[in-house]
Amino acid sequence: MVPLRDNNPVKITPYVTYGLIAANLFVFLYELSLSPRDLESFFYTWAVVPVQLTASFSGFPVNQPFPEWLTLFSSQFLHGGFLHIAGNMLFLWIFGNNVEDRLGHVKYLVFYLACGALAALTQWFFSSGSNVPSLGASGAIAGIMGAYILRFPQAEILTLIPLGFFFWTVRVPAFFFLGFWFVQQALYGFVSLDTRMNIGMEGGGIAYWAHAGGFVFGAILGPLLGLFSADPNERRY
């Protein structure tokens, strides 16, 4: 199933959502220009490598040109393959604008980056000795899903369903997409670039703890930042 659009109009131009999509696409195009060896080095530098983050938190030196904690943010703009980035950007496009509309541009950007970082920390907590890079926008987008489903549980999502050679479109409630989103993420582990990473299970695959953490923190941070603001027409920044 492929989500096409929701029935939630927005009152603002979602500049931050557009900017995040553009930044992710730019970084992915750069990844495509790298050789497999350079790509692996790039991931080990800019993605979250749990064992390196553990060493950094413990005060041990890490051979990095910048503080290791910065990878909690830089890793959010890396992707392991075409399906990985396409799925993430599609969900960001459909659901991000409504959350940005509710929170405002600045608080939405803070919300997005915070959810992504907290999601990465959740994955690190459960796999602190792993040396497999963990990367992707999935944790941040899980946060958006947590906020969206909390705020718009009955919103309808126009969905494309391929049945053999035929394609059907149906409208389904937003809460259904939480379960679908987790299943979809599992598929990305099988279509990736030629290097080992966690996109978003231990040993190279799906970082389920990051997704769960992102969703939970999104459901917590969203209301704290104004997701349920009393006046939907107020000017937000």
- Residue-level pLDDT at 175: 84
- Residue-level pLDDT at 182: 59
- Asked whether the beta carbons of 151 and 198 are under 8 A apart, the reply is no
Q: What is the pTM of this model?
A: 0.87
Q: Locate the domains of the chain by residue range.
A: 9-155+177-224
Tally of CB atoms within 10 A around 134: 30
Tokens 């405002």 belong to 104
d(CA 21, CA 211): 19
Domain 9-155+177-224 has CATH 2.60.120.10: no
d(CA 211, CA 194): 23
pLDDT beneath 70, residues of the chain: 178-179, 181-208, 230-237
d(CA 49, CA 94): 30
| Beta strand spans in the chain (E) | 2-6, 134-135, 156-163, 166-173, 198-199
d(CA 111, CA 16): 11
